[in-house]
Amino acid sequence: MGLLEKLQTQVLTADGAMGTLLYSYGIDYCYEELNITKPEVIENIHQQYIKAGADIIQTNTYTANAIKLERYGLESSVKEFNESAIAIAKRAAAPGGQFVLGTIGGIRGIRKSEATLEAIIAALDEQAGYLLAGNPDGLLLETYYDFEELSSVVKHLRKLTDLPIISQVSMHEPGILQNGLLLNDALHQLEALGADIVGVNCRLGPHHTIQAFEDVELPSKAFLSAYPNASLLDVEDGKIVYESEADYFGRAGVLLRDQGVRLIGGCCGTTPKHIEAVKKRIADLPPIENKIVKKKKVIEIKEATPDHHEPLHEKAKRERTIIVELDTPRHLDTTSFIEGAQILNSTGVDAVTMADNSLASPRISNMAMGSILKTQNNIRSLAHITCRDRNLIGLQSHLMGLDALGINEILAVTGDPTKVGDFPGATSVYDVSSLELLQLIKQLNEGISFSGKPLRKKANFSIAAAFNPNVRVLDRAVKRLEKKIECGADYFITQPVYTKEKIIEIYEATKHLETPIFIGIMPLTGIRNSEFLHHEVPGIKLSDEVLERMRATGDDKNLATAEGIAIAKELIDTAAELFNGIYIITPFTRYDMSVELIHYIQELDQQKVGDHNYVKTTN
């Protein structure tokens, strides 16, 4: 009798964690390598689970694909790891006739950039080919956080085999996936794609796994599965531990059965004792044939709080829009900063932008200063956010705080690595790239947390992305812009540009885009400043002509300032003809220089009133 036939009339028990036991043995390297180097260890673990009562065991192949093995330098070992793993499992199961599932683990976490779907399918083809050649009783897809990935994998595998496919999602929050899809809907979609058994594994313990299944209807053809963790994880003396008694896990197995689950196993933290406890509790229980799902109250997501300002990207599509960067202080005296922001605001600029610890050097939080500017001075701010300083928890918390403060203009950037800043020993986080951050902020605009749960209200962010045009091949940079637009960028802010030719090149390369671009203009203050920017600051390059002009000013600070202003005005002449958005970057809090440039832009526009072509209507 096959696996699916048995599930028609029985609730079956699967095995528990492989990694947990190997970790407890002090093994902290690639577990799949043990299929070759220590096959007796893997076989012994299979036998322990079989002795505990498991009807089903899975191969030790969770990361045995080329993408995941690459981190160990073992990507060429896919064939031997998978072939050995299925041979070991079948040898262990042969005496008792347990079913053997070939395990294929998820690749993506919250970052879609970890692997393209094309690369995932290529790795899947290779791994699945070796597993299927070993004649398993089915394939187990586990720990998939990205539903797009899992859907693609199920669809592809269904073309390759008629064997049972068990597809399991992983959730950050009970009952909801990280993209906001309800578990019930996800499982039914997987069934429609051809999965024979659908369920969940990992991340959540028994309590939250049971809670998640309370809203899940019984599939029409497929069966439900659950492989919860032993508990939520903890760390003691640097080691990961799970606080869960086996009997508690066994009782949870009964409650999972009551929710219609027919295949019950364990994930992180579970051991043969946990599986033995489940087996004893459910051995004589028939499966649930009918289930009444009491629908929970849908959480209402309110519309975003309206902003009395027009979003910058909307205005920039129509008319001249000027934003000015003013760095927050690297000290605790905010007097000069606030004074500068007030003066800039009085010129009529559309927003004062503040970097997020630029060049990895700590400054007063732009959230704090943005709040002060708004509440005490009625000044609109644009806050930069880097991926460098905060993990996903910190990023979402920070963004929720900005929303609560009514700071709705955001620039999402990756951020300079900490090695370039004041604390080179500090950790660079980079949980996500700027591309994923754009997507996550857009998700907040839908009222959905990074983890997928509803936030009760939509955020209202207008999101800028960075654009560095100072590259040898501009077309490649424009391709990246197009990716950022796909991820949710509403407009772009460029690095400072120092030649008219480059501004024209940017225009020609981007004129097909409707997304507004703000051209960065930063006046130079002297030759030392110019050479530092040219030689040491990533993403900034000056022309030989500009360097010579600044060099000619020598040590005369007034002459250097005047020449820096003159160069900036020449650049503005070209930028203002081609782009609606101008981004003035204030050097060293010299807001007097920015004020002069703002007035110059305004004078240019006044001179051209009546000429309907004086600004571009897209960029």
Report pLDDT for 26: 78
What is the rounded CA–CA span in Å between residue 26 and residue 342?
Answer: 61
What is the rounded CA–CA span in Å between residue 24 and residue 194?
Answer: 37
What is the rounded CA–CA span in Å between residue 161 and residue 156?
Answer: 9
Closest to 396 measured CA to CA, from 441, 361, 460, 446: 441
Neighbours of 286 (CB within 10 A): 10
CA distances from 460 to 54, 349, 372, 406 (A): 51, 21, 20, 9
Compute the Cα dihedral for 112, 113, 118, 119 and give only its sign: negative
- Let me know: does 500 contact 574? Beta carbons within 8 Å: yes
The answer to the question of whether 30 is labelled as a binding residue is: no
| Domain residue limits, the chain | 11-283, 319-526+566-618
Q: Rounded to 5, what percent of the chain is helix, strand, coil? A: 45, 15, 40
Q: Which amino acid appears at position 419 of this protein?
A: K
Report pLDDT for 283: 92
Sheet containing 165-169: order of strands: 12-13, 261-264, 223-227, 197-201, 165-169, 138-144, 99-105, 56-58
- DSSP string across 218-259: PPSSSEEEEE--SSSEEEETTEEEE---HHHHHHHHHHHHHT
**What superfamily does domain 11-283 belong to in CATH?**
Homocysteine-binding-like domain (3.20.20.330)
Phi, psi dihedral angles at 478 (to 5 degrees): -70, -35
Burial class of residue 75, CB neighbours in 10 A (0-12, 13-18, 19+): middle
- Let me know: does 380 contact 352? Beta carbons within 8 Å: yes
Per CATH, the number for 319-526+566-618 is 3.20.20.220
C-alpha neighbours within 13 Å on the C-beta side of residue 366: 26
Report pLDDT for 369: 96
Ranges in the chain, pLDDT < 70: 232-244, 610-619
Closest to 261 measured CA to CA, from 239, 231, 281, 276: 281
What is the rounded CA–CA span in Å between residue 367 and residue 512?
Answer: 35
319-526+566-618 shares the fold of 11-283: yes
- DSSP string across 120-153: HHHHHHHHHHHHHHT--SEEEEEEE--HHHHHHH
Query: Tokens 């087996």, residue?
Result: 279
Closest to 328 measured CA to CA, from 352, 292, 300, 295: 352
Cβ-based neighbours of 176, under 8 Å, separated by 6 or more: 182, 183, 451, 452, 453
Tell me the residue ranges of DSSP E strands in 39-114: 56-58, 99-105
The answer to the question of whether 202 is labelled as a binding residue is: yes
CA distances from 463 to 142, 202, 360, 485, 488 (A): 35, 34, 22, 10, 7
Report pLDDT for 608: 81
